[in-house]
Structure formats: structure tokens, C-alpha cells
Amino acid sequence: WPRSAARADGELTVGGVRVTELAREYGTPLFVLDEADFRARAREYRSAFGDADADVYYAGKALLTKAVARWVHEEGLKLDVCSGGELAVALAAGVPPESIGLHGNNKSPAELVRAVEAGVGRIIVDSFQELDRLAEIAAERGRVADILIRVTTGVEAHTHEFVATAHDDQKFGLALSSGAAAEAVRRALDSAHLNLVGLHSHIGSQIFDTAGFEVAARRLAEFLTAIHTEHGAVLPELDLGGGLGIAYVTGDRPLEPKVIADRLLGIVRRECEAHGLPMPRIAVEPGRAIAGPCGVTVYEVGTIKDVEGLRSYVSVDGGMSDNIRTALYGADYTCVLASRASDTEPTLSRLVGKHCESGDVLVRDLYLPGDLRPGDLLAVAATGAYCHSMASNYNHVARPAVVAVRDGAARTLIRRETEEDLLRRDVG
């Protein structure tokens, strides 16, 4: 739950605002973001990694709006974007281009042109074709692009298959094991229009221990040594990516930013000392760990169906179009009655959406008060990351608004979509 979550007269409040008031004012489903909590988590990462010798890039794919980009910038973080669309939001928000890193395994030529022309600080190169394309684009414009090479370290991250990214058999990066990463480094060093600043690795997402990061860091430090030996080049930066897990349900035990920072900085320092290399500037890219916990989704209960002897199906006014994570990854969530207190015996329930398929589940198994009725508001916790950002218009359901709450006041960051919005693109 967001740090400001509390109860007033039995009602849930976030940022000092009652959820019932938010629902009345902005409608449901509604994404509610605790701004102070978002900023605090950003600051905690910033200070855990030390203010001078490391960069913290907030991963915008978790949740990006212009306001969010400004918060990130104001708290001293940089911003990782992974598409032209995210880059456009970052630039529109006034984030300085030099504090932006651009990712993507298939950046289009137009995206690369935009990044070079805007003067994006780091482009994380993911393939040989991109290396060539980018060198050409920079050359045509008389520029030199600062790049990192995304390295696949062969680490098997302990997380869902869809979000593990450092084993060899997947689409991201250039493999250490096959020599592709070494070949990319060679070509980058040879290019007059690419400035190879360092290496990048992202092992996966929703990870609860640092073991995988440590293996990756060790392999990258060895690779830095090999690069030094072969080319005499000392690459000054090492980006260890994002992926730090958050608590969705009781039992999830995330690590504190300080613990993560100490372990990661420690391992790189030890490895570099052992190989006689200077300590590189470290970067990390947390997305979920900053945005996730500070968001909740508020839904209104529409229908309740008791499936005899099994459970109660509680349908709300959103579903897989505002949170695909349960359907896609088998994610689990915590949900509470938000509009009033109830001391009725809890019933085994399944929280489902309004979409036309039975896989439209938000929470598979949960206990909700036995006196739940249509019109009650429910709040699902830890939906700040990868819910709004992965939202769709499936079944022509309009996407919810995103509101920020702080010190007893609320403001709209993203307005609710309307039927006119949905029809505007339908021009046939």
C-alpha cells in the first residue's frame, strides 16, 4: 500500500483524500498515485546509490506521464525510455535530453534519428544492425553518439519466463558466451561516430535477491578487463538495469534500496580491484520498485455471483484492460473493501473484470467481506507499475484516469478516455 494509506471512518484514504471522494469526482476504475510516496522512493534509490558516483534511471515503461517524468527529474534521477513515444513524453515534460537513456531491441531509424537530434544522453545498443544504423545516422549529422552495449550475461533470473532477459535464448542484447558482445565492442570502438561509454545488462524483473545481479556484475567486470587487455580501453560506465521486486501480497519480501546498492557497488568494486581496473560509474534502472507500491486502483463492484459451493465471483467495472498482469503472468494482488468498514465473515472470492473472456481475472483467490454489495468500492494495491502503462481498449472499454494525491488534494495526470477518444481514430 502507498505509505500514506490510512482509514477515516472506515473509509480508505490515500494522500489524505478519501477514496469515496476520488470515485465521486473522477469516476471508476481509477488509478490513484501517492505523489509523496513516489518521490520518496525515487529519493531513496537516489541516495542509496550515492549522489555523485552513480546514476539512477527511472524505467518509464513502468508508468510514464509528464508529471511523473518531472517528479523523477526533480528528485535527481535520470530517465530510461524504450520507445519514441516514451521519449516524446520525456521531452514534452522538459527532461533534459542528456539525462535520458534510450532502450529497445528494435529501435526504428526514426527513433534513432530523433534520439541523436535531441541529444539523448545514452543509447543502449542492442544489435549489430543498430550499431551500423546509429553510426550512419550520427555521421550524417556530424554527431558522435554516446552508447552502451547491452550484454546478455547468461544469468537465469528467478522470475516469470516472460520477464527474464539475460539467459541466452531470448531476444535482447548481445551474448557474452558467443562472442557477439566482444564483436560489438570491437566495432563500436572502431567507429568514429560512436563513443562507447560502457556496458549494460538487465537480467529480468520482479526479482527478490541480488544473487543474479551479482553474477551478472562479476561477468561484466571480467568482460571490462578483457576489453582493457585487448583494446587498452577503460570503459567508464556499467549499467546493471532494473528488476527489483516489490510486495504484491503478504510474504513478498523486497530488499531495501540501501541493501541492494551496497551489494551491487560492493561486488563491482571487488571485481574491479581484483582486475586492477578503476571503479566504473554504476547505473541502475528501477521502474516497478519506485512506481509500483505508490499506486492503487479503485473499482466499483457491479455484480456478485455465488457459484454454489465454490466461491463468489465479484465483478468490477474494469479488468484486464487496466491490469493485464494477472492474466499474463499469473500475478497476485491484495484487494480490500475501500468505501466502508465491514466485520462480516469473509467469503472466498474471485475478483473479475467486465471483459468478454473468463481469463479476465484481477485476483484469483481472495477473501472479501460476506456483505459486499453492488456500489461498494474496492482498492487493489501495488498497481502503480505496469498497469496503466499496459492498459488497452479491449472491448472498447475506455482507459481509466490517473490522479495524483498529495496533502489532502487530488489532481488529474491523465484524464479518463471517452467514447469520442475511442471513435476519433476510427476513420473508415
Q: Which residues are annotated as a binding site for substrate?
A: 288, 325, 329, 357, 386
Beta bridge partners of 350: 313
Question: In angstroms, rounded to a whole number, what is the distance separating the alpha carbons of residues 3 and 324?
Answer: 25
CB neighbours of 214 closer than 8 A, spacing ≥ 6?
Answer: 263, 264, 267
Query: CB of 409 within 8 A of CB of 17?
Result: yes
Which of the stretches 3-11, 59-67, 92-100, 400-408 binds ligand LLP when contact is defined by CB under 6 A?
Answer: 59-67
User: Contact between 149 and ligand LLP (CB under 6 A)?
Assistant: no
The interface mask with ligand LLP, positions 360-389, x = CB under 6 A, is -------------------------xx---
Query: CB of 363 within 8 A of CB of 332?
Result: yes
CB neighbours of 281 closer than 8 A, spacing ≥ 6?
Answer: 53, 54, 55, 198, 236, 237, 238
Count the residues of the shown chain that bind ligand LLP, applying the rule CB under 6 A.
22
User: Contact between 62 and ligand LLP (CB under 6 A)?
Assistant: yes
- Closest CB to ligand LLP among 81 and 113? 81
356 labelled catalytic: yes
User: Contact between 212 and ligand LLP (CB under 6 A)?
Assistant: no
Question: In angstroms, rounded to a whole number, what is the distance separating the alpha carbons of residues 240 and 172?
Answer: 14
- Closest CB to ligand LLP among 163 and 397? 163
Count the Cβ atoms, other than its own, within 10 Å of residue 309: 5
Residue type for 91, please? L
Binding site for pyridoxal 5'-phosphate: residue ranges? 243, 285-288, 386
- Residue 8, helix vs strand vs coil: strand
User: Contact between 243 and ligand LLP (CB under 6 A)?
Assistant: yes
- Closest CB to ligand LLP among 280 and 287? 287
Residue with cell 516469470: 160
Assigned C-alpha cell, 203 = 537480467
Query: CB of 203 within 8 A of CB of 157?
Result: yes
| Dihedral of the alpha carbons of 100, 105, 107, 108, in degrees to the nearest 10 | 180
Residue with cell 475478483: 351
Question: In angstroms, rounded to a whole number, what is the distance separating the alpha carbons of residues 407 and 355?
Answer: 35
Query: CB of 393 within 8 A of CB of 321?
Result: yes
Question: In angstroms, rounded to a whole number, what is the distance separating the alpha carbons of residues 22 and 38?
Answer: 19
- Closest CB to ligand LLP among 29 and 104? 104
Which of the stretches 65-73, 240-248, 309-317, 359-367 binds ligand LLP when contact is defined by CB under 6 A?
Answer: 240-248
Which of the stretches 40-48, 58-66, 249-257, 420-428 binds ligand LLP when contact is defined by CB under 6 A?
Answer: 58-66
Minimal distance, residue 379 CB to ligand LLP, in Å: 19
Residue type for 250, please? T
- Closest CB to ligand LLP among 62 and 87? 62
User: Contact between 205 and ligand LLP (CB under 6 A)?
Assistant: yes
- Closest CB to ligand LLP among 73 and 202? 202
Binding to ligand LLP, residues 79-98 (CB under 6 A): 80
User: Contact between 103 and ligand LLP (CB under 6 A)?
Assistant: yes
Which of the stretches 9-17, 236-244, 298-306, 314-322 binds ligand LLP when contact is defined by CB under 6 A?
Answer: 236-244
Query: CB of 203 within 8 A of CB of 243?
Result: yes
Minimal distance, residue 206 CB to ligand LLP, in Å: 6
User: Contact between 202 and ligand LLP (CB under 6 A)?
Assistant: yes
User: Which listed residue (272, 335, 356, 387) is catalytic?
Assistant: 356
Q: Which helix (H) or strand (E) holds 412?
A: strand 409-414
The interface mask with ligand LLP, positions 264-303, x = CB under 6 A, is ---------------------xxxxx--------------
Query: Which one of 5, 42, 59, 240 is in contact with ligand LLP (CB under 6 A)?
Result: 59
Strands (E) across 98-254 are located at 100-102, 122-125, 145-152, 174-175, 194-200, 237-239
Binding to ligand LLP, residues 7-46 (CB under 6 A): none
Q: Which residues bind ligand LLP (CB under 6 A)?
A: 59, 61-62, 80, 103, 163, 202, 205-206, 241-244, 285-289, 325, 329, 385-386
Catalytic residue numbers read: 356
